[in-house]
Amino acid sequence: MLLSIEPDGPVPIYLQIRDRIIEAIASFEAPVGSGLPSTRQLAVDLGINFHTVNKAYDLLRQEGLLRIGRKAGAVVQRDATSGPPSPGFEEDWASRLRTVLAEAAAQGLSAEQIVERCQDIVVGFLPVTSDGSAVGEAS
Amino acid sequence: MSAAVLAADAFVPLFGVYQCVAPLVSRRTLRFGVRVPLEYAEAPVICRERRGYVWRSALIAVCAITVLIALADAGDGSWRWPSRVVLVAEVVADAGCFWWAHRRISQVKSAEGWYAGRRQTVVADTSWRTEPPAFPVGWLLPAVTVIVSTVIVGVLRYPHLPALPSQGWGRVDRSPLTAFGVVVGQVYVTAVWSGLLALVYRSRPDLDTADPVASLRGYRKALGTFARAALVLLACIDLTLLLAALQRWQLVHLSGAAELLVVAPAALGLAACLFAAVHAGASRAGFTVGMVASDRDDDRFWKAGLVYVNRDDPAVFVCARFSFAWTVNFGNPTAWLLVAGFLAPPTSLVIIRLATGA
């Protein structure tokens, strides 16, 4: 899994790490059961304070995506194959999505453009079959 | 000029060639320790400073060799001072040339705002930690074999050693410490060298933001090649110490050109290791392809492009900015402890010898 962050960017680093890991889980780059580097190792590789990585991992643990054990370290706890989300997640997510979509609409993107872009992103998360098409993609 | 002196002098041209070439074999986005965007990798100031550095460092090497030849008869016995003084002067002069080129490029970069408005990213590949490269333990075998051989020969020879074995600094009583000092040296060099290599295997890889997957693959390959060359160098140093011990234990008597045999393994091993470092550094130069984002401009943490000081970075070892080498993060207290631990034994030895007059 590649983790790319902008240390001097406007988004806090721990949120950038959390976002990249969620994207990797969604695209099956980090499927359920796969291990992540320890907080110290990832901090060394990114050249940042290990408390920052710890904060990102803790956030992912609270969201139910990571399991952090003393021996096994950080392990991906759930992905798209793990069944429906926990109760209350969808409402919370929908409210955040509303803001993101409103941003696009306010900036002048048409409804078709917004839907098309959303569809492209969701298809990008699906695992790719041997012929190069995404699993479950409408032909 | 004896063969031993000639061998000691050989390090001057060897380092002269290395320092002439090493700063030129870096990633295309690192020029004389300055981080530059890809489209400025061949900027006029960089081409000019590169040409200037080659001429200046070549001139320094030629001057160093000329001075060495002129001082051929200076120094005596084991204290062949011209080669040491000239080598130090050569290294300092080359560092000055590097700093000059670094400063000139930094000035132009800053004046023209090469990084203004760019997205600057740092990238990590988690596979480096989840599937770490294996340290080539098998390549430690030659060094261990040489040490064991030294111990066996030493144990067999010890009862027959004269009461006062000769030393470079005079004559001392026979004791296990004085007789097996060479073995202590071998163990120290082997432990420190292989320990540093093991730490390098756990340190941060040098990834290219534009193509991290390919650059990590290349880094793994280059690290493996360099580590094997470094462990061969280790065996060569141990072999040089074994040959020195054989002379000290009066088992062999080398004189004239045969004295070269003692230093030859270490000199050849060092030449091979430096070549491997330069070759690995050159292989990294080709990784940068199309740029979506730029590497983070972290020049503020690099003093003169050579010394890394970043208190916010938990890394102890980081990749140096030229050739294929590493340096410590002087902003990390652990790095200071490591350097102190590395220097403590040889420094203590020199102090004890000066204090006791042995």
pLDDT value at residue A138: 45
Residue B339's nearest CA partner among B307, B312, B313 is: B307
Question: Is the minimum CB–CB distance between B209 and chain A shorter than 8 Å?
Answer: yes
pTM > 0.80: yes or no: yes
CB A14 within 8 A of CB A51: no
Residue B45: both structure tokens together: 């100031």
Record: contact A5-B120, CB cut-off 8 A: no
Quote the tokens at residue B347.
Answer: 């420094």
Residue to substitute from B122, B204, B206, B209, interface A, most A β-carbons within 10 A: B122
Contact (CB<8Å) A38/B129: yes
Interface probe with B: pick from A1, A3, A4, most Cβ of B within 10 Å: A4
Q: Does B214 touch chain A (CB under 8 A)?
A: no
Residues of A in Cβ contact (< 8 Å) with B119: 6, 9
> What single letter denotes the amino acid at residue B138?
G
Strand B166-167 to strand B302-303: parallel, antiparallel, or no bridges (unpaired)? unpaired
Pairwise CA distance, residues A114 & B19, whole Å? 57
CA B107 from chain center: how many Å?
Answer: 29
> How many Å apart are CA A57 and CA A68, to the nearest integer?
8
Sequence-ordered list of residues with C-beta below 8 angstroms from that of B206, at least 6 positions apart, any chain: B27, B215, B219, B284, B319
- Which residues in A lie closer than 8 A to residue B214 (C-beta atoms)? none
pLDDT of residue A115: 95
Question: Token pair for residue A4?
Answer: 């790319």
Centre a 10 Å sphere on the Cβ of residue A47 and count the other Cβ atoms it contains.
Answer: 21
Cβ–Cβ of A34/B123 closer than 8 Å?
Answer: no
Contact B275, B15 (CB under 8 A): no
Q: Identify the H or E element spanning B95.
A: helix B81-112
Residue of A nearest to B292 (CA): A4
What is the mean pLDDT of each successive set of 10 residues along chain B, which is 358 residues long?
Answer: 62 83 82 90 92 92 88 62 84 92 95 90 92 93 95 86 55 68 89 93 88 87 91 93 85 76 84 84 61 78 92 92 88 93 85 73
**Is B125 in contact with A2 (CB distance < 8 Å)?**
yes
Structure tokens at A137: 């993609």
Quote the pLDDT of residue A72.
81
Nearest partner of B316 among B304, B326, B306, B303, judged by Cα:
B326
Q: Which of B129, B209, B315 sits opposite A47 (nearest CB)?
A: B315
Taking a contact as any Cβ pair under 8 Å apart, which residues of chain B between 260 and 289 contact chain A? Answer: none
Residue A37 to residue B126, Cβ atoms within 8 A: yes
B341: nearest Cα among B184, B181, B186, B192: B192
Q: What is the spatial distance between Cα A70 and Cα A72, in angstroms, rounded to a whole number?
A: 6
Query: What pLDDT, in 10s, does the model give residues A14-62?
Result: 999 999 999 999 999 999 999 999 999 999 999 999 999 999 999 999 9
The CA-based angle A23-A26-A30, given to 5 degrees, is 85
Residue in this structure with the two tokens 């399991």, named with its chain if needed: A67
ipTM associated with this complex:
0.84
Which one of B124, B203, B313 has the shortest CB-CB distance to A3? B124
Q: CA-to-CA distance for B101 and B135, rounded, in angstroms? A: 36
A47 with B130: Cβ contact below 8 A? no
CB spacing of A41 vs B129 below 8 angstroms: yes
Q: How far apart are CA B106 and CA B129, in angstroms?
A: 34
Strand partners of residue A35: A75
**Which residue do the tokens 């960089």 mark?**
B46
Domains of chain A: 13-82 (1.10.10.10), 89-125 (no CATH)
